[in-house]
Amino acid sequence: MSGLMLNLVCEPSRGGKSGKYRGNAKHERFLGRRHYLEHKGLLKEKQNKKRNKKNKMKNKNKSRNTQHNGGDQSKPGAIFPKFTSYLPNKTNEPSSSAQTFSRKSTFSFPSTASTSRRHPTHQAAPRTLGPLKYVALDCEMVGTGPKGCRNELARCSIVTYEGDVIYDKYIKPINPVMDFRTRWSGIRRQDLLHAIPFDQAQKEIVKIITGKVVVGHAIHNDFKVLKYFHPACQTRDTARIPLLNQKAGLPVNEMVSLKRLTKAILKKDIQTGKGGHSSVDDAKATMELFKVVESMWEEKLSALSLPAKAMDLALNQKT
- At residue 260, the 3 state secondary structure works out as helix
Q: Which of 63-72, 143-152, 195-204, 266-275 has the weakest average pLDDT?
A: 63-72
Q: Which residue has the higher pLDDT, 230 or 72?
A: 230
What is residue 278's predicted lDDT score, i.e. its pLDDT? 94
Q: Which of 93 and 255 is assigned the larger pLDDT?
A: 255
pLDDT above 50: residue 252: yes
C-alpha dihedral sign at 159, 160, 163, 167: negative
pTM beyond 0.85, yes or no: no
- Distances 21 to 27, 28, 180 between C-alpha atoms, Å: 10, 11, 76
Sign of CA dihedral 169, 175, 176, 180: negative
| Helix (H/G/I), strand (E/B), else coil: 152 | strand
pLDDT at 22 over 90: no
Res. 187: pLDDT tops 50:
yes
Percentage with pLDDT > 70 across the chain: 65
pLDDT tier at 122, thresholds 50, 70, 90? low
pLDDT interval class at 251 (50, 70, 90): very high
Per-residue confidence band for 63, with pLDDT thresholds at 50, 70 and 90? low
Q: What percent of the chain has pLDDT over 90?
A: 50
Q: How far is CA 60 from the centre of its chain?
A: 24
Tell me the β-bridge partners of 167. Answer: 158
The pLDDT of residue 97 is 39
Q: For the chain, percent helix, then strand, then coil, each to nearest 5?
A: 50, 20, 35
End-to-end CA distance of the chain: 97
- Across all residues in the chain, what is the average pLDDT? 76
pLDDT digits (tens, 9 = 90+) for 265-309: 999 999 988 788 899 999 999 999 999 999 999 988 888 765 554
Task: State mean pLDDT over 213-242.
Answer: 95
CB 196 within 8 A of CB 172: yes
Domains of the chain by range and CATH?
A: 135-304 (3.30.420.10)
